[in-house]
Structure 1
Amino acid sequence: MEKKKPMRKCVGCGESKEKSLLIRVIRDTSGEIHLDPSGRANGRGAYVCRDIKCLEKAIKRKGLERSLKVSIPEETLEQLKKELEVNG
């Protein structure tokens, strides 16, 4: 019997995909927002496709802010885009 793979929804495009195909954006306990490539860090998380377009959609539609329950400064959003280009 095959093991069930966890599914998560992208806050950018809204598609449900396997967790391994998405990248997690977290707000950690200190309030910092960054990418979590391991998917295991402590904190409130939201999932985005490994595509810069989905991250831009999530920012434009405020999906990240809604999921992380915090307003995100512009410089942090730019940093997330750069990190996604490197890790994605």
Structure 2
Amino acid sequence: MKKRKIPMRKDLLSGEMFPKKSLVRIVKQQDNTVAIDPTGKAAGRGAYVALDPAAVQKAKKKQLIEKAFSIKIDPSFYDELFAYVDHQKARQELFGDQA
């Protein structure tokens, strides 16, 4: 049986490569809004973030997502992203890696 290729993506916050399924996609849509894309299929420019709540806090401090998308982002988005990443990480630890 042929081994499947695992798509890799670069984490915006650390610069490391990870399997796509272990990252969360953030998308900048045409109307310059930024949203979390849990499906990974939304239209727009995407960036990937690892499931690390500490890295999200660091990104908020350094405004890394704003720099990546070249737009001003509401601080509440970082709180939403932190909550989502924290939830997904806890879920992954609880249920294991269900791909």
Alignment correspondent of 1:83: 84
User: Tell me, which stretches of 5 or more residues in structure 1 are unaligned?
Assistant: none
Q: 1:85 is paired with a residue of what secondary structure?
A: helix
Alignment correspondent of 1:45: 46
Alignment correspondent of 1:59: 60
* Contact 2:9–2:19 (Cα < 8 Å) also in 1: yes
Distance 2:37 2:22 in 1: 13
Structure of larger gyration radius: 2
Aligned residues: 88
Identity of aligned pairs, percent?
Answer: 31
How does the TM-score come out when normalised to structure 2? Answer: 0.73
Alignment correspondent of 1:30: 31
Aligned residues: CA RMSD: 1.8
Distance 1:36 1:47 in 2: 10
Higher relative contact order (CA 8 A, sep 6+): 1
**CA-CA distance at 1:64 after TM superposition:** 1.4
Distance 2:86 2:35 in 1: 13
Greater fraction of residues in helix: 2
User: Tell me, which stretches of 5 or more residues in structure 2 are unaligned?
Assistant: 90-99
Alignment correspondent of 2:96: none
Alignment correspondent of 2:13: 12
